[in-house]
Amino acid sequence: MLSTLHRKSLAVSLGLLLFGGATSVAMAAGSSSPADLGPSNTSQKVNVTLVLGLRNQAALESLVYSTVTQGNPSYHRFLTTDQFADRFGASASDIAKVQAFVKQQGLTQVELLPNHLAIKVSGTVGQFNKAFQTSIHDYQSADGTTFHRPSSQPTLPSSLSGTLIVASGLSTEARYRSHRVSAFEPVAPASASTMSPAARTAAAAAPAAPPCTGNPTATCTPGEFTVGDVANRYNINPLYKAGVNGKGSTIGIATLADFLPADAYSYWSAIGLSVKPNRITQVHVDGGGPLSGPAGSGETSLDVEQSGGLAPWADIIVYDAPNTDAGFFDVFNQAVSDNKVDSLSVSWGSPEILYFPQTEGGVDFTDELRAFHQVFLEAAVQGISMFATSGDSGAYDTVRGFGGSLSDPVPPPLTADAPGSDPFITTAGGTTVPFSYSFRGGPVESITKEGVWGWDYIQTYFKKNLGLNVGVFSVGGGGGVSVFWPVPLYQAFTPGIKKSEKNQRWLFPAFDIDYTLPANFKGRNEPDISLNADPETGYSLVSSLDGPGLLTGSGGTSFVAPQLNGISALLKQATRGRQGLWNPQIYPLQNIFGYGAFSPFNDIKSGDNWFYKGVGGYEPGAGIGTLNVTNLALFMTVF
C-alpha cells in the first residue's frame, strides 16, 4: 500500500514537472491501483539491505549537540566512520547474530558497511519469502511498468528484535518524488497587442527596469535567475571577493536518478561562470538510478548546477541509486559511510504520514524513518551538514500526489514532508521574491516584498481579474509540524514553533484510508531556512534529457536544498572546517541576535503556504527566514 501511494505521488509530480501548473483532483485521485500479477518467480535474484540498530542512541544525540556547541570540549571534534562504528554502530555480537541468520536462511552476505549500520545481502525471492514470512508478488502499474513487492507485511525474526531494524529492498517500486515544479505560465510580460487598456496604461507608466548589477552571472530576470542572482539577493558576493569559492570543500548530492555531467558544465558555461575542471565524480549505488527526463535526471542536473555554481571551486560527488526503499536508504548510507563529502543534499521525499499504519492498511513502515534517522545522526557526528526539501505542496503535503481541495467535505490534512521532518537534517523552504506579473493580458500586479511561497496569489489573480478558477491548490513551499518526531531541543525555546492542528483528517476512500492525525502534538517544525523557490520567480537550468539549451521557469524547494549545500561548502572554506548539523547553531543565533543589518537572517513577514503566514520570527512557512550568507559566515567564524 505504501508503495502504491508513493507510485501515484511520483506519477503526478512528473506531470507537474513536464507540463507545469498544478495537478487536478481527478488526475491525482483517478489512477488505478497496480494489478497483482501473482507470486514472483521464487528463483529470481533479489538484493536486500538489512538495517542494523544503533547502540547508545541517546549518547549519540547528545554528542551531536556537543560537536556544534562552542566551548564544549567536543566542539568540532567530529568522528571518523571507524570511530562512529566502534562507539555507536552495531556491536560485533549483534552483527554476528544477523550474519548467522543470513547464513541459516541460505542468503549471501555481499557487504558489511564500514559504519556497521547495514549488511547488504542477496538471495532468491523464495529465500526472502521464507526468511521474512511474506509472499513477494509481481505487479503492473497503470502505465505498464512492472515491479515486485511483498503482498503482506514482512516479519522480522523475534530473536533479532532491536538488532535488525528493517529489511529494505523487498520492493522494487518507484516510491519518491523530486520537489521540482515548473511555472504555471511563462513569466514574460504580455505584448501590447494582448494587454487590456488598463494593463497597457500601467506598463507605460512603469519605470524602466534598472540595469542588472552585482554578480556578473546574474540575469535579474524572474524565471531566468541563475546562481548569480542567488548571490546578489542573499549577500554571497563579499565572500567571493574575499577569495571564498568553495576551494577545498566537497559537495555531496544524494539522488534517485542518474544524470549527464556535461549538462552541469554546459550550465556553468552558458551563464559565464568559471569552475574547477573535472570536479564531478559519480557513485552509482545499487547499480545507480535511471537516466531519463521522466525519471528525474533533470533534478540531479539542477542539484549539481546550483550547489556547484554557488561554490564553483568545490569538488562534487553525486551518489545516485534506484528509486526504491532500499535505494533511498542505501544512497544516504553509502555517502555518509564513505565520509568524503562535507555537506550532502537531497531533493526527493514523500509525505510523512505515508509511513504510518493508519494509512497503510495496518502495516507500519515507520522503521524506515528510524533507519534514515540513524544515518542522519551519523552524518551529524561526522560533521557532514545535511539538507532536505520541505516539498512543493504548501502546508498540505498529500495534495500534490493525491489531490484534494479546501472546499471538499473533508479537506486534506496539514502534513509535513519526509525526510525533511527528521530533526537531524536542515530542511529548505521556499519564498517568492518581488516581481511584477500579468497573466493572459490581465492587469499588471506586483509582489513588493519577499514572502512565503504559495500560489494562492495566482488563484486570487485569475478569480479577481479573469473570473476563472484555476487548480493551483496547494502549490507552494512545504512546511508544517511532524506528528512522528518530537520537537527537538534547538526548537524548544524558539518563539513561533507550532503544535499540530486539531481536526486534521485524511479521507481517501479509494484506499480505505480514514485517518485523523494527532492533535496538539509537540512535533518538529519544518522548514528551517528558506530561499527563493517560486517557479514564477524561478531559475534556468540545463537538462538535455528534458529539452535543449537553458530551460527557464523552474523552481521548487529542490533548488533551495542544493543552494544551501553550496553555501555550506563556502562556509567550510571560510571557517576552515566542517560545520556539522546547522540547526543547533542557527536557531540560537536567531533567538539571541534576531534580525537586522548585521544578522545572518532576513525575516519573512508576508505571503503564506496556504495555511502558515509569514510573520515576524519563526513560522512553518519560511522557517527562521532567509540568509545573509556573509553575515552567517562571520557569525560562524566568531561564535
How far apart, in whole angstroms, are the C-alpha atoms of residue 623 and residue 496?
A: 9
Nearest-CA neighbor of 564 among 369, 339, 389? 389
Asked if residue 237 lies in contact with residue 228, where contact means CB atoms within 8 angstroms, the answer is no
Instruction: Name which of 532, 567, 540, 580 is nearest 245 in CA terms.
Output: 567
Check 258, 286, 303, 352 and give the catalytic one: 303
Backbone angles phi, psi at 292, to 5 degrees: -170, 160
**CB environment 359-377: b (16+ within 10 A), e (fewer):** bbeeeebebbbbbbbbbbb
Rounded distance between C-alpha atoms, residue 430 and residue 137, angstroms: 40
CA dist., res. 541 & res. 562, Å (int): 13
Residue 105, C-alpha cell as written in the block: 536462511
Q: Is 299 a known active-site residue?
A: yes
Between CA 574 and CA 564 the distance in angstroms is: 15
> 562: Cβ–Cβ under 8 A, 6 or more apart, which residues?
253, 302, 303, 304, 306, 307, 345, 347, 387
**Which among 168, 558, 568, 599 is annotated as catalytic?**
558
Which helix (H) or strand (E) segment holds residue 281: the answer is strand 280-284
Cα distances (Å, whole numbers) of residue 479 to 417, 475, 482, 506, 524: 8, 12, 9, 17, 11
Q: Is 162 helix (H, G, I), strand (E, B) or coil?
A: coil
Is 303 noted as a catalytic residue in this protein?
Answer: yes
**Three-state DSSP class for residue 607:** strand
| Residue in the structure block whose three cell numbers are 505571503 | 607
Q: Are 50 and 167 in contact (CB under 8 A)?
A: yes
Separation between Cα atoms, residue 479 and residue 459, nearest integer Å: 20
| Residue in the structure block whose three cell numbers are 502534513 | 415
Whether the CB-CB separation of 425 and 526 falls below 8 Å is answered with no
* Phi, psi angle pair for 258, to nearest 5°: -70, 170
Residues designated as active site: 299, 303, 558
